[in-house]
Amino acid sequence: MKLIQKKLKIYNDLKEHIHILLELLTLGEEVSSTDIENIKKEVEELEVDTLLVGEYDNTNCYLEIHPGAGGTESCDWAEMLLRMYERFLEKNNFTYKIIEQQIGEEAGIKSVTLLIEGNYAYGYLKEEAGVHRLVRISPFDANKRRHTSFASVMVTPVFDTNIDIKIRDEDLKIDVYHSSGAGGQSVNTSNSAVRITHLPTKTVVTCQTERSQLRNKEIAMEILKSKLYQKKLAEQEKLKKDINGIVSNIDFGSQIRSYILEPYKLVKDHRTNYEHTDPFKVLDGDLMPFIKASLQLKKSS
């Protein structure tokens, strides 16, 4: 049944693409500027969709953001990235839910995990996995000096719940604690948040959005299972290029993209060399050109 549903979804996606193409062909010569912009957007979306051919591209995904060293600066940068992805998801008709969020001591966030749902969610967002670097005049520095901050983004597909992953109880360390984010009075005043550590791999997952500790534990276990399965797949040589691993070094030299606000304005992807001279537009969710450039590079390599 799962396979039939998957095939049916692919069929419906292809049928929708054909419908869009037929609409474009029947517009005729009298096309307004608005129609032209709509056509351009639809063609670009179709072009990107043709690049999403990975086995897991058309799955939902978890996206995590973790600040690097640097205290308040990095925590604030992590929150800026969260806002950027929220804007991107809203503009591209994805739905998302914050599964876990830890607020920084002075500003920003210490970590956040989103569950993202929609067509090709993983296919798009996997291109964002890696270290992101920000250069700016610090709003937290009284002397107005330029600072460099880092944050890592990790993306995991939501695998089928029947995946072959065995997790032994003795390999788990389970902690409960008070939620640090919004979620209602009962969330914040009881030990409803759950943190699970898989001791053999040192993989840590958390969930705090549900009022029930049991439900938070169930969601955390689902995330852990997907992460462990992703690690298992990454060990297979033929899938290493398709499954994004966890970035271990959040520092200089390891970034995939730089966002420079001072002394000039530029966003540069170091994998593709694609550049954008309006970083504020990018930080407002205009990520599709970067994603498209990365997908095209993978296809040509």
For residue 245, what pLDDT band results from cuts at 50, 70 and 90? very low
CATH code given to domain 61-160+246-300: 3.30.70.1660
Q: Which residue shows structure tokens 């798009």? A: 124
CATH of 169-234, one of 2.60.40.650, 3.40.50.1100, 3.20.20.140, 3.30.160.20: 3.30.160.20
Over 88-140, what HEC string results? HHHHCCCEEEEEEEEECCCCCEEEEEEEEECCCHHHHHHHHCEEEEEEEECCC
3-state SS of 226-256 is HHHHHHHHHCCHHHCCCCCCCCCCCCCCCEE
pLDDT tens sequence across 2-30: 545 655 666 676 677 667 666 766 665 55
Cis peptide leading into residue 139 (ω within 30°): no
- Model confidence pLDDT, tens digit, residues 95-149: 999 999 999 888 999 999 999 999 899 999 999 999 999 999 988 888 888 899 9
Domain ranges of the chain: 2-49, 61-160+246-300, 169-234
